Amino acid sequence: MVFLLIYSCGIEKYIPEGEQLYTGAELELETVSDLKDIKEVKTELFNLIEPSPNATFLGMKPALFFHYKAQREKPGFFYKFLNKSFGEEPVYFSDVNTERVEELILNRLDNNGFFYSRSDSETTIDGKFASVNYSASLPEAYVLENYNLESDSLPIYKEIEKMLPETALVKGDRFDLDLLKAERVRLNNGLKQRGYYNSQEDLLIFEADTNQYKNKKFDLFLRLKKDVPARASIPYTIDSITVYPNYSIEGDTLPLIKNNVTQVDSIDFVQNELYFKPELLKSYLLFNEGDLYDASISKQTSNRLSALGSYKYVNIQYTELDTTATDGDSGSLAANIYLAPLTKRSIRAELQAITKSNGFTGPGILLTHSNRNVFNGGETFSVSANFSYESQLSSGNNSSLSSIAGGISADLIIPRSIPFSPSRFKYAVPKTKISLGLDFLQRSQLFTLNSVNGSFGYTWKENQYVYHQLDPISINYSRLTNVTDEFQTILDDNPFLSLSFEQQFIAGLLYNFTYDEVSNINKEYPVYFATNFDLAGNMLNLVSGSSKTIFGSEYAQYAKVDADFRFYMRWQKERTLVSRIYAGWGLPYGNSQTLPFVKQFYSGGPYSVRAFNIRSLGPGNFNAQTENATTDYFDQSGNLKLEANVEYRFPLFSYLKGAFFIDAGNVWLTGNYSDIEDDQLTSSFSQNLFTDGKFEKDWLKEVAAGVGFGLRLDIQNFVIRLDLASPLRVPYLPENNRWNVPFFGNIDNNMTLNFAIGYPF
């Protein structure tokens, strides 16, 4: 209390003479009867009160304090920085206009059916501080009794009548201007989907009649404005469609002459030379000659054409051919679709700086050549080559370790789902992707790993938020060569690791489901959910007649699933609180005793529990540092992973952002590893891997946790991230010594610096 008093005095001395600091307002409502949604009404009215007072934290106003301190003649760098990052301009009582707020409250009450309300305000001044108490007296609200459409002979009235049963206006609802506006928007959108090309919201008029009732009820009547133009009250039919597949934005549209025009189902395709096959392009159009104009179908068609990946500009224009047909009750439209192609070929080069939290650092390069519309059907063929060199910069036994990685891949993306026609899909057309790649990884003093991979699958958007990816064919063949004596010793001493490298052939099915609201910047509380399903080996097992090998190589057989859920809370000035929960589980069976090495889960690193190095946690409370391994190359992993993260993100200045975070998680082993355990007992590497690493009922005691803070350079969604983290709980230490004071404890590796590209989640 004494501290708060001293703090208040510290703020008070900065308030200018003749001014009072505005500390906020209260609002009291008086009603004549019980109102079921009184809390919602009060919240809506309270949000009208302006201005907002300075932010308060634990009874103090630190943002205002930073501002005042920064106004001194010599504020110093510290207060300049705090003011730039968190400071607020003072809000004085002279900025408050109580009469305007009272008018806003009365206006909003009228809009909500509380006609003839009264509002008042009372000001309280206490020395250098002032507040306002607003009050409002609410009479009984007017409620809806009947909702009717005035009759007329125009065809548009019949269409409106068909849409009325779907209205959100219900008998007994309080008068609500926002609901009426929403109803008008709904009806106008419906008319535009029924051919009414010139329909507009302001042509629809609502009239409320209270004369028939003594109590506070009203009838609502809907009609068109008087003297509505004939063009706005008749439906339009699309009577001609012309597509320009190779349109130039400069405007050199080709004339409609016989040599330039190809007609498919009455649709004219105009192109000087064949750029896009007309019969394929036609399947992306959702409207045909003779259809009624539909604004939503037109927009969906535009989105489908844009998603082809061949065009930088898509524009559908409609021209009125005849405002009144022979019978006078319909109009005619000509649809012209202008498609301006992207550059056919492109080459992109990326220089990369790779820094990993396990100490490997080095340069990389990525080259990509793309050929768009390669077969005149929107197909994109791209070839990529990558090369990187990484060296272990840390001191110790591994200071001389390095790795060279490279590969080449080819992708063919076909903007339709072979063998299905695009016309079968309404929202978005699935794409077919065929991929083939070669990769190699040479780890000095250890091994060389060569791999071949290929896949055939589909990607598609179900709606604005839902995305699917299905690869019914996914193949990966890897071969371990140039194994040094040192690494062979590691494999001999660790049967679990050895088995995970022996499974050279991985063939199966992959499926991904993603629900993502984060890209919608208007959502205050967006969510993100993604799950992956990976099933391998069953088809090979069937083809090989249950043999353990195919083409002389052992193949993997397993099922693996994971789920990632994130919840975002956004508020002003780009401040976001992100919560994340992740769970993954893999089950080897049949031909496999362990998951392949590349399919195992690991914990730690810049996208996981950041207080620990990559692949340095688990399984369970297993401690690799106490084992007699010839090298610490052994990457700790498991077939079960659980993680949770909370991160608060805030702006600092310009493109620089800050963050505070806490991470928790680990990996474990599940299932029966009795055969491997017997082999492990004879090895010199570890006799504790399976006892310490198994997932059991006391798994919470084996969860690692860490806290930290970070800086992010965010330039138009290109993010360079530095996160400094420290362990809060270390699961591989003795049970009584697992808690640690972050940044100040006396454990080894008390701080970990993570460098990464992009946000962690």
pLDDT tens-digit series, residues 639-652: 999 999 999 999 88
Tokens, residue 373: 């519309």
Sign of the dihedral defined by the CA atoms of residues 645, 651, 655, 658, in that order: negative
* Range name among 44-48, 222-226, 316-320, 623-627 with the lowest pLDDT average: 623-627
> What pLDDT digit, counting tens, does each position of 119-137 carry?
999 999 999 999 999 999 9
Find the angle CA(361)-CA(365)-CA(367) to the nearest 5 degrees. Answer: 160
Instruction: Cite the DSSP H helix spans in 446-578.
Output: 485-493, 495-502, 538-543
At 53-90, the pLDDT tens digits run 998 888 888 889 999 998 888 888 888 888 877 788 99
| Residue 567 banded pLDDT, cuts 50, 70, 90 | very high
Q: Do residues 134 and 25 lie in contact, with contact meaning Cβ atoms separated by under 8 Å? A: yes
SS (H, E, C) 265-297: CCEEEECCCCCCCHHHHHCCCCCCCCCECCHHH
- DSSP labels for 311-355? EEEEEEEEEEEESS-TTSS-EEEEEEEEEEEPPSEEEEEEEEEEE
Would the pLDDT of 700 be above 90? Answer: yes
Half-sphere exposure of 205 (CA within 13 A, CB side): 9
Q: Which residue has the higher pLDDT, 68 or 513?
A: 513
Q: How far is CA 139 from the centre of its chain?
A: 45
The better pLDDT of the pair 263, 716 is held by 263
d(C-alpha 45, C-alpha 40), whole Å: 9
Q: How confident is the model at residue 33 (pLDDT cuts 50, 70, 90)?
A: confident
Average pLDDT over residues 131-149: 95
Q: What is the pLDDT of residue 360?
A: 58
Q: Which residues contact 32 (CB under 8 A, 6 or more apart)?
A: 138, 139, 140
Say which range, 28-37, 245-254, 501-510, 514-523, has the weakest mean pLDDT.
Answer: 245-254
Contacts of 618 (CB under 8 A, 6+ apart): 602, 603, 636, 637, 638, 666, 667, 668, 693, 702, 704, 731
Q: Is the pLDDT of residue 753 over 70?
A: yes
pLDDT at position 97 over 80: yes
pLDDT over threshold 80, residue 191: yes
Average pLDDT across the chain, whole number? 87
Q: Classify residue 394 by its DSSP letter.
A: S
Residue pair 335/295 in contact by the 8 Å Cβ criterion:
no
3-class SS shares of the chain: helix, strand, coil, % to 5? 20, 40, 40
Asked if residue 399 has pLDDT above 60, the reply is no
In which residue are the tokens 């997932």 written?
695
Q: Considering only residues 557 and 251, tell me which one the structure prediction assigns the higher pLDDT.
A: 557
Would you place residue 653 in the very low, low, confident or very high pLDDT band (cuts 50, 70, 90)?
confident
Provide φ and ψ at 182, rounded to 5°.
-65, -35
pLDDT digits (tens, 9 = 90+) for 711-740: 999 887 788 899 999 999 999 999 889 999
Determine the 3-state secondary structure of 652 from DSSP: strand
Per cent of the chain over pLDDT 70 is: 90
Output the pLDDT for position 254. 58
AA identity, residue 758 = G
Q: Average pLDDT, stretch 699-707? A: 96
How many other CB atoms are there within 10 angstroms of residue 83's CB atom?
Answer: 19
User: In degrees rounded to 5, what are phi and psi of residue 637?
Assistant: -150, 175
What is the mean pLDDT of the segment spanning 464-492? Answer: 89
With a cut of 50, say whether residue 702 has pLDDT above it.
yes
Compute CA distances 339 → 227, 252, 296, 371, 429, whole Å.
39, 12, 19, 18, 18
Question: Which of residues 495 and 600 earns the better pLDDT score?
Answer: 600
Q: Determine whether 419 is exposed, middle or buried from the number of CB atoms within 10 Å of its CB (0-12, 13-18, 19+).
A: exposed
CA nearest to 150, candidates 97, 200, 219, 199: 219
Residues contacting 640, CB < 8 A, separation 6+? 584, 585, 586, 601, 667, 668, 669, 670, 695
Q: What tokens appear for 728 in the block? A: 């809060």
Least confident of 313-322, 428-437, 498-507, 608-617: 498-507
How far CA 259 is from CA of 177, 254, 279, 529, in Å, comes to 58, 10, 17, 52
Which H/E stretch holds residue 214? none
Give the burial class of 350: count Cβ atoms within 10 A of its Cβ; 0-12 exposed, 13-18 middle, 19 or more buried: exposed
Over 70: is that where the pLDDT of 613 sits? yes
Burial class (CB in 10 A: 0-12, 13-18, 19+), 311: buried
Angle at 479 between CA 477 and CA 481, to 5 degrees: 165
* Residue 680 or residue 489, greater confidence: 489
**Which of 177-186, 253-262, 632-641 is modeled with the greatest confidence?**
177-186
- Would you give the distance in Å from CA 345 to the centre of its chain? 30
Does residue 326 carry a pLDDT above 50? Answer: no
Q: 310, 554, 566, 294: which is closest to 414 by C-alpha?
A: 310
The alpha carbon torsion through 734, 735, 736, 738 (nearest 10 deg) reads: 80
Q: Is the peptide bond before 619 cis (omega within 30 degrees of 0)?
A: yes
Which H or E run includes 161?
helix 155-163
Q: What is the pLDDT of residue 286?
A: 93
CA distances 461 to 281, 380, 416, 457, 485, Å, are 19, 19, 12, 14, 50
Domain ranges in the chain? 2-53+91-138, 143-232, 236-341
Q: Quote the CA–CA distance of 273 and 246 in Å, as a whole number.
A: 9
**CATH superfamily, domain at 143-232:** membrane protein fhac (3.10.20.310)
DSSP for 619-635 reads STT--GGGS--S-TTPP
Which of 161-170, 211-220, 634-643 is predicted with the least confidence, judged by mean pLDDT? 634-643
Please check the confidence at residue 359 and state whether its pLDDT lies above 60: no
Cβ contacts of 33 within 8 Å, gap of 6 or more: 140
- Environment class of 544 (CB within 10 Å of its CB; exposed 0-12, middle 13-18, buried 19+): middle
In angstroms, rounded to a whole number, what is the distance separating the alpha carbons of residues 36 and 45?
16
Query: Under CATH, domain 2-53+91-138 is a member of which superfamily?
Result: membrane protein fhac (3.10.20.310)
3-state secondary structure of 6: helix
User: Residue 129's beta-bridge partner residues?
Assistant: 21, 126
**Whole-prediction pTM:** 0.78
SS3 640: strand
328 pLDDT exceeds 80?
A: no
Phi-psi label, residue 574: left if phi above 0, alpha if psi -120 to 50, beta otherwise: left
Provide the pairing of β-strand 21-31 with 129-138: parallel
User: CB 40: neighbour CB atoms within 10 A?
Assistant: 11
The reply to whether 236-341 shares the fold of 2-53+91-138 is yes
Bridge partners (DSSP) listed for residue 140: none
Task: Report the half-sphere exposure of 492 (CA within 13 A, side-chain side).
Answer: 9
Q: Does residue 398 register a pLDDT over 80?
A: no
Mean pLDDT to the nearest integer, 208-222: 93
Question: What CATH number labels 236-341?
Answer: 3.10.20.310
Query: From CA 530, how far away is CA 517, in angstroms rounded?
Result: 12
